[in-house]
Structures are given as structure tokens and as C-alpha cells.
Chains A and B, each alone.
Chain A
């Protein structure tokens, strides 16, 4: 069923009892032209663009749990393209452009809300760094505006501007940044891919990758062997585990990132705000809850929960930035397991196994990348070659020295 004002009115008139399921629940077939492992945002977007852009519809997405159960349903929903390095800016800007047309494209309301992303600065040095970043963005045709303290105070009067230790001096604003309803992205892509003929298969865990004479021939799964000569891995957080099934060792560690939501209040926060003197970011959901987060916990983890020391650290950052936060009660907190790569940047590349492709290493910033990641990974799976926008996201860059280290932290994933 195509969604429109007419389908909505018709359903409203009949008590919303006639909405069909958003996607089929197919049994896995014995073979596909291409298999995508992992039904998160990236895997589903990949399948969708494989079908829509490359006409490849004999495709299955295999998801071990349910659609939306991974990081795509756990993140803090921020989208932006305010990167600094050349390998990153065009890719993330393409992603933002895809977000801007996504809802029409997939006929699904993903609540894309370009309410602006503010990065606060607290010192002259930090201002200089943001001027440089803003200029790099503008050179690439990305929107960036530098706000002084007065302009910022008008936008966000609740900020603690005159803190003795970390006064707020201004902010770098990306007006086109914002938030997107994360679950809707997973559901919307799943439905759109399904409508084009892709099999979205839930409760199907990949347990092995079959390789014969250096080439992939299919995957073992909890629902039997499924053959395919092209297999794309998009298993955010579990990439090392799945790649190990084909004998690969990756430049990745799995870490846990926590997120928090407060009780709902009336509209307070205009967009997304990130603190510059600690790691803290906050936005307000349409339901009214403040959604916020900060640093990763800092040790390898496959547990989808973190520790209290990080909770304290995140909340301290928040209170320093806006003390009024202290009046709110915390409603929920949770964690997600992410691939932290060695330079903080992702990998979209072929592997040494023919026909086996890797989409991994998204760290804590892969939600915003979902459309472009799917776009470029589909290109790689369909053509066997890297998409120009993702040409820098090579697996061998750690050998060649062409790292993309936005934060300049070196091979310590817990510091990116």
C-alpha cells in the first residue's frame, strides 16, 4: 500500500484496522544473487539502493534479531555533515542530501527535522578550530555559520554562558543538521526494499561464511545454508565476529555507548547542542523528552549496557552546560554495541575473499551516514568497485598510512 493523505483518511474512517504489514515475512530461499548480513539501517539501505538504483532485486537481508533492534534503534538520532577531513566531508554531505529527499523517495515519514546543530566553543583556540572546520565545510559547499555569544544566547538562553571555568564564547552552527526518527528509518527502508522484491528475513543469524577457492559461495545461518556469490557484511558492533567467520581480523574493537532520555517537557531545546568542554550532546524529541549522551564507556564490550561512572560523567557535562537539566528526572538509559575503528572512520570496501564485502567501523556516528552508506555499499556490491564518495574508506588504509583520523588520536579506539 502506498502511503498518502488518502490512505490515511480511508484508514481513519475505518478505525485503522486495515493497515497491511509493512513488509512480508518470507522464508529464506536457497540462493540469492546477493546477501546482506545485518538488518540495521545500513544493511536495509544497502538492499534498498541495490534494488532501486542497480536493479538488483534478487537480494536477501539476513537479520539475527528483529528490524530496529540494533544501533539503528538505539542512537540519539543526530544527523549532520560538519566534518573536517576531505575523505569525510563529501560523503557525509551526500548523506545529508539523501536525508533531505528520503521521505518522498521511500514513501515513509521518517520525521527528518533540520533544526540545526550547534557546537559550542569555550576558548580562542577552540574558536579558531571551529573557524577552520566551518571554512572547510563551506569550501565543500556545506552550510556553516559562526555565532558569537550574543547570537547564541538568543537561540539558547538556557545555556550557562558565564561559567568561571568554561565560559561559552559562541558556537559553530550547521543549520541543515538535525534529527531523524531512527526507528522509522529502519522500518521505512525495510518496507521500501521489500516493495521492490528484496527478502527481509528476521530471526536469521549468520553463523558461518562458506568460502571455496578464495571466493564466497554463501552463508550458513540458523535457518540453513543460503547460497550467494556476493555477500555484504553490515553488522555494526559485531563486524569482527562475523568477519572472523571468513578468517578475517579487523582493525576494530567493539565498545558500548550509552544514551539517555529525560521525562517529557514543553519545547525547550531548539536543535541539537554539543558541549565543547566535555563530551555531551542533547536534543529534544518530538514527544518532549531530552535525548542526550556523551563518551563511550572506554573498554571492549558486547553487553548492551554500560557502567555508572560514564553516567556520572555525561550528566556532569550536561549540568555544566545547562544547570536547569538538574531539575529533570531521567526516564530511561540504554546502551548499544558499536564497531570502534582504529582511526574513528568507517570502512566500505572489498575484502581479500572474492565476493565478500565489508561495511563496518561506524563508531558512534553511523546513523547520519545511513543513506550514503547504503548508497555506496550498494554500488560496491553491484559493480565490484568503490563509489567515489567512499573511496577513502578502504580496509588497507591502515597499511598504506592513509588514515582518516578526525580527532588525531591514533590507534586507540576508546579515545576516538
Chain B
């Protein structure tokens, strides 16, 4: 499997760290102290633990550890490992939480 890194060009996937499924907005940081905290628990549980695990195209995060050290958003087919669109994510601005788009 080769991932066409927009910065480094096509590189073997062993240079990257796979962080799995992208997407799913992180629940707001203050939701844990909201009055309906049980729902906040569930929201965080769903965010941290549940996965769509699709058969077919998945949007996922890969970190180019042995290259440019950029986080990439990669579209990949889980049936045959074919890689589609790849784009580099911008680094979070100062004071802004990073994480999945």
C-alpha cells in the first residue's frame, strides 16, 4: 500500500501511523459539566469507542511519522486497500483544539 502524501509524494504505508476512522465531532469540552451529564457521558462514549467500520470507502487519519510529520486525511477502500483522495490537514492554530475534521 502506497499513500501519495501531498508533501512528500507516494510513500510506503509503513512510514505512516494509522489513526483510524476520521470524522465524528468531539463533544464540546464543557458538556461533561452540563446539567444532563449522563448524556455527555454517552456522547463521549460514542465518540471514543463506537465506529462505523464501513465496508468500502472510509475517511481516515494517517500521520506521516517518518516523513513530513503531517496528519493526512485519506480515503481508502477497506475491501481492497485502494487509496483515493489524500489531503494534508492544516496544523491547529494557537489555542485551538486539534483533532479530526
Q: Determine whether the beta carbon of A254 is less than 8 Å from that of B81.
A: no
B residues contacting the other copy or chain, number (CB 8 A): 25
B28 at the interface (CB under 8 A from A): no
Q: Determine whether the beta carbon of B45 is less than 8 Å from that of A299.
A: no
Q: Determine whether the beta carbon of A300 is less than 8 Å from that of B58.
A: yes
Q: Which residue of B lies closest to A412 (CB)?
A: B20
Name the prevailing secondary structure of the B interface residues: mixed
Q: Determine whether the beta carbon of A253 is less than 8 Å from that of B21.
A: yes
Contacts of A249 in B (CB 8 A): 46, 50-52
A299 to B21, CA, bound (A): 9
Contacts of B20 in A (CB 8 A): 253, 299-300, 412-414
**In the assembled complex, how far is the CB of residue B72 from the closest CB belonging to chain A, in whole angstroms?**
13
A401 to B58, CA, bound (A): 28
A254 to B48, CA, bound (A): 16
> If A300-B58, A399-B41, A399-B42 touch, does A254 touch B18 (CB 8 Å cutoff)?
no
Interface residues of B in 2-59 (CB under 8 A from A): 12-14, 18, 20-21, 41-42, 45-46, 48-53, 55, 58
Contacts of B14 in A (CB 8 A): 309
A residues contacting the other copy or chain, number (CB 8 A): 23
Q: Which residue of A lies closest to B55 (CB)?
A: A302
A412 to B1, CA, bound (A): 21
Contacts of A301 in B (CB 8 A): 78, 81
Contacts of A254 in B (CB 8 A): 53, 78
Q: Determine whether the beta carbon of A309 is less than 8 Å from that of B13.
A: yes
Cβ contact of B53, chosen from A253, A303, A398, cutoff 8 A: A253
Q: Which 9 A/B pairs are nearest by Cβ-Cβ distance?
A: A240-B53, A309-B14, A251-B49, A398-B49, A299-B18, A249-B50, A399-B45, A342-B49, A300-B78
A-B contact pairs, 29 of them (CB 8 A): A240-B51, A241-B53, A241-B55, A249-B46, A250-B50, A250-B51, A250-B53, A252-B53, A298-B18, A299-B18, A299-B20, A299-B60, A299-B76, A299-B81, A300-B21, A302-B55, A303-B78, A303-B80, A303-B81, A307-B1, A307-B13, A309-B12, A309-B14, A398-B48, A398-B49, A399-B45, A411-B49, A412-B20, A413-B20
